[in-house]
């Protein structure tokens, strides 16, 4: 691994593919650990690409490696460890039967669970093998090797290490450091040549202390992973991972992508969401996939509008992707998962809206739109209305179509894209409480703007639903 890593560094080749946002943080530490020949652990919350990183370590192994044919632990033909291969070498000499292993065959991954036993990881005596061969149970030839010895001359990855029982962890660090283990009282010396890598949740690792201290002491490097630090990195990850239509007739506006990513950022800052559990990067990925699916379904219901353009109403329809991925604190449970998810969407819209309008000094130009609603105007799109019909209604609102051009829709944008941009402006004003949206009335003036609050009259109850 070290030699291949050095060769990649000298040639300037990328070491890991599909890993975004770790170039200045995780990857340098990971590179140092491999060059130092250390075992390491990746600590991070869910959805931080820990398993992907571990699996790509196999790319640093040689393309082909010779091993003694039929050996459970991929023994080195020049220096075998197991009794069978030592006897075979003494008998056959240079005529040993060989196999050539690929990197995938030299990478073994195991999910740690409380029911994992020492036999699973290290091995056990096999009475059937002993009976068939005629050997005594104390003979080393009767051993059935576990996953760790089978990773000899390769990589052994153990995910969610804290879930492994403490007594199994004790056996694990003994073979890591001293290279020996006792199987049913029979001492076996196994100086394995194996890279041991682990993953864990930092809350388990530090707060609940489920990794035994001697094992922590034997892990060379502790590398902390993290969520994307910027919106651009988050967009790049979701663009890479989400399964969305690739046909020419489907358009996913950049501001819709950004709103979806901003939902995850808002959730990671919200006190009602359990930050110890984390907000997985799978949340925006699943949300984007559902939004794209709803856009397709909506276009078909409207008579097959082309092109299909994802809009913010499709993001509102993707709430099932949010509620299942948010672990709520007590206050959030009182509010309810659906309510918290809707409010997070509103925060995300407000954040991205400000990036396009407040940052560009365009907020003052939005006043005519707000005034149109304050003068009694309202807007509600009929179910099944085409993009052209809805856009005709948009043009009745003074300045709205002009302000939508701030989003840089490109030359000659289709009507559906213009509609999506106009809807983004309206949703941004809703998020800032400049106007409101209700199920019965659609978009309309905020209560305070109509003087209802001053008279003590309650404003309308707002219930969000996708508007077609």
Closest among 268, 262, 320 to 290, alpha carbons compared: 320
Q: Which of 185, 205, 224 is the last residue of a domain?
A: 224
Same domain, 255 and 403: yes
Same domain, 364 and 338: yes
Closest among 259, 312, 308, 315 to 291, alpha carbons compared: 315
Which residues have C-beta within 8 Å of that of residue 93, sequence separation ≥ 6? Answer: none
Same domain, 142 and 217: yes
Indicate the burial class of 109 (C-beta count within 10 angstroms; 0-12, 13-18, 19 or more): middle
Q: Is there a domain that residue 17 lies in?
A: yes
**Contact yes or no for 193/148 (Cβ under 8 A):** no
Q: Is there a domain that residue 468 lies in?
A: no
Same domain, 296 and 374: yes
Q: Is there a domain that residue 355 lies in?
A: yes
As given in the structure block, the two tokens for residue 145 are: 């090797």
Pairing state between β 308-309 and 250-251: parallel
Same domain, 9 and 45: yes
**C-alpha torsion sign, points 79, 108, 143, 98:** negative
Q: Which of 175, 209, 224 is the last residue of a domain?
A: 224
Q: Please, which residues bridge with residue 100 across strands? A: 66
**How would you label 407-427 residue by residue, b for 16+ Cβ within 10 Å and e otherwise?**
bebeeebbbbbbbbbbbbbbb
Number of domains present in the structure of the chain: 2
Closest among 18, 19, 21, 16 to 5, alpha carbons compared: 16
For 333, phi then psi, to 5°, come to: -65, -35
Rounded Cα distance between 379 and 444, Å, is: 7
Rounded Cα distance between 19 and 37, Å, is: 22
Same domain, 319 and 334: yes
Same domain, 162 and 304: no
Q: Is there a domain that residue 415 lies in?
A: yes
Q: Give the C-alpha distances (Å, rounded to integers) separating 275 from 190, 194, 204.
A: 42, 35, 13
Rounded Cα distance between 80 and 93, Å, is: 12
Region at 46 (left for phi over 0; alpha for psi -120 to 50; beta for the rest): beta
Same domain, 252 and 216: no
**Contact yes or no for 309/255 (Cβ under 8 A):** no
Same domain, 133 and 252: no
Q: Which of 189, 224, 259 is the last residue of a domain?
A: 224
Q: What is the pLDDT of residue 468?
A: 38
**Contact yes or no for 436/446 (Cβ under 8 A):** yes
Range of the domain at 218: 2-63+102-224
Q: What is the pLDDT of residue 30?
A: 96
pLDDT lower than 70: segments of the chain: 130-131, 134-139, 179-182, 184-185, 204-209, 304-305, 359-363, 383, 448-468
Coil/strand/helix, residue 189: strand
Q: Is there a domain that residue 25 lies in?
A: yes
For 446, phi then psi, to 5°, come to: -70, 150
Q: What is the pLDDT of residue 467?
A: 37
Rounded Cα distance between 127 and 386, Å, is: 73
For tokens 């239509």, what's the residue?
A: 245
Closest among 47, 412, 408 to 253, alpha carbons compared: 408
Q: Is there a domain that residue 45 lies in?
A: yes
For tokens 């020419």, what's the residue?
A: 248
Same domain, 190 and 280: no
Maximal CA-CA distance, the chain: 101
Q: What is the dihedral of CA 308, 310, 314, 319, to 10 degrees?
A: 130
Q: Is there a domain that residue 205 lies in?
A: yes
Same domain, 108 and 162: yes
Q: What is the pLDDT of residue 342?
A: 94
Rounded Cα distance between 347 and 354, Å, is: 11
**Contact yes or no for 200/43 (Cβ under 8 A):** yes
**Contact yes or no for 93/59 (Cβ under 8 A):** no
Find the CATH number of the domain harbouring 117. 3.40.50.300
Same domain, 311 and 419: yes
Q: Is there a domain that residue 263 lies in?
A: yes
For 195, phi then psi, to 5°, come to: -90, 120
Indicate the burial class of 79 (C-beta count within 10 angstroms; 0-12, 13-18, 19 or more): exposed
């Amino acid at each position: 691994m070290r030699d291949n890593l050095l060769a990649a560094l000298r040639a300037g080749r990328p070491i890991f593919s599909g890993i975004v946002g770790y170039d200045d943080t995780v990857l340098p530490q990971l590179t140092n650990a491999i060059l130092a020949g250390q075992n390491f652990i990746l600590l991070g919350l869910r959805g931080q690409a820990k398993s992907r990183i571990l699996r790509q370590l196999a790319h640093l192994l040689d393309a082909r490696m010779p091993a003694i044919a039929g050996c459970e632990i991929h023994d080195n033909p020049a220096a075998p460890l197991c009794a069978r291969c030592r006897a075979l070498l003494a008998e056959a000499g240079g005529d040993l039967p060989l196999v050539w292993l690929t990197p995938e065959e030299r990478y073994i991954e195991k999910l740690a669970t409380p029911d994992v036993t020492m036999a699973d990881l290290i091995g056990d005596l096999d009475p059937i093998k002993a009976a068939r061969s005629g050997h005594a149970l104390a003979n080393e030839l009767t051993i059935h090797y576990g996953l760790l010895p089978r990773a000899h001359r390769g990589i052994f990855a153990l995910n969610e290490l804290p879930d492994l029982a403490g007594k199994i962890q004790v056996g694990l660090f003994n073979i890591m450091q001293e290279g020996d283990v006792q199987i049913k009282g029979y001492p076996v010396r196994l100086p394995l040549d194996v890279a041991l890598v682990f993953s864990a949740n930092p809350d388990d690792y530090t707060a609940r202390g489920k990794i035994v201290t001697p094992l922590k002491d034997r892990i060379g490097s502790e590398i902390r992973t993290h969520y994307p630090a910027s919106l651009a990195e988050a967009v790049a990850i979701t663009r890479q991972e989400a399964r969305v239509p690739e046909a020419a007739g489907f358009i996913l506006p950049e501001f819709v992508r950004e709103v979806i990513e901003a939902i995850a950022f808002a959730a990671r800052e919200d006190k009602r969401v359990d930050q110890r559990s984390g907000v997985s990067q799978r949340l925006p990925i699943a949300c984007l996939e559902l939004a794209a699916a709803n856009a397709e379904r909506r276009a078909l219901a409207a008579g097959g509008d082309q092109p299909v353009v994802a809009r913010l109403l499709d993001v509102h329809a993707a709430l099932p992707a949010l509620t299942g991925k948010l672990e709520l604190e007590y206050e959030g449970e009182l509010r309810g998962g659906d309510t918290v998810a809707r409010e997070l969407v509103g925060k995300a819209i407000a954040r991205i809206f400000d990036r396009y309008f407040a940052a560009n000094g365009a907020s003052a130009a939005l006043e005519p739109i707000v005034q149109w609603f304050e003068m009694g105007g309202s807007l509600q799109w009929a179910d099944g209305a085409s993009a052209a019909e809805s856009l005709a209604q948009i043009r009745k609102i003074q300045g709205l179509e002009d302000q939508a051009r701030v989003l840089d829709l490109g030359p000659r944008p289709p009507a559906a894209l213009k509609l999506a941009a106009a809807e983004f402006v309206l949703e941004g004003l809703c998020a800032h409480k400049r106007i409101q949206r209700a199920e019965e009335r659609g978009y309309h003036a905020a209560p305070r703007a109509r003087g209802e609050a001053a008279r003590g009259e309650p404003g309308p109850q707002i219930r969000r639903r996708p508007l077609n």
